[in-house]
A and B are shown apart, each in its own frame.
Chain A
Amino acid sequence: MSNIRTIITNKAKVFGKLSEAELKNQLKALNYIELLAMQTKISLSDWDVLNTFRAKHGSNKLITNPKEINKRLFTLAEKAKIGMQKSHVQDVIKHEKKILKLAKEMFGYRVASIQGNIADQKRRIENDKAAIKRDEENATMTPGDKAYRLKNYTNSIAGCEQQIVRLEESLVRTKEYATTDRLVKDVAKIVMGGFWKFFGISGNNLLFLTANNIILFEKNHRAGLNLQKDMGVYKVKLNLEHMQNSVHIFYGNTKSGDNIHPYVSQGGICFGNSGSYYNKARQENDIVQMMNMLSIVLSTYSSAGGPYRRLADFRLDPNIPATKEAERYLAKKTPPEDKRLAELMQSVSVKDVANKLAKSIGPKKIEEVDESDDDEEEYEDEDGYDDEE
Chain B
Amino acid sequence: MSRAKKVTAQVLGGEAQVLDRCSTVEDAFEELGLDGSYTATVNGEPVDMDYELSDYEFVCFSPAVKGGC
Contacts and interface: CB of A to CB of B under 8 A. Distances in A.
B65 A272 contact: yes
Given A32-B44, A40-B16, A295-B13, A67 B54 contact: yes
A297 B57 contact: no
A296 B66 contact: no
**Interface majority SS (helix, strand, loop, mixed), chain B:** loop
Contacts of A68: 56
A270 B67 CA distance: 9
A304 B66 contact: yes
A70 B58 contact: yes
B68 A306 contact: yes
A300 B65 CA distance: 8
Interface in B23-51: 39, 41, 43-46
Contacts of B16: 40, 74
A35 interface: yes
B44 A66 contact: yes
A39 B66 contact: no
A128 B6 CA distance: 59
Contacts of B41: 219
Nearest to B63: A296
B2 to A, nearest CB: 16
Contact of A66 (B58, B60, B67, B68): B58
Contacts of B55: 67
Contacts of B56: 67-68, 70-71
Nearest to B62: A300
A263 B68 CA distance: 10
Contacts of A59: none
A40 B10 contact: yes
B65 A66 contact: no
For the complex of A and B, list the 4 residue pairs with the smallest distance between their C-beta atoms, beginning with the closest: A305-B66, A306-B68, A270-B69, A66-B43
24 contacts: A31-B44, A35-B44, A39-B60, A66-B44, A67-B56, A68-B56, A70-B8, A70-B43, A70-B56, A70-B58, A195-B13, A221-B45, A274-B63, A274-B65, A296-B12, A296-B13, A296-B62, A300-B12, A300-B62, A302-B39, A302-B66, A304-B66, A306-B67, A306-B69
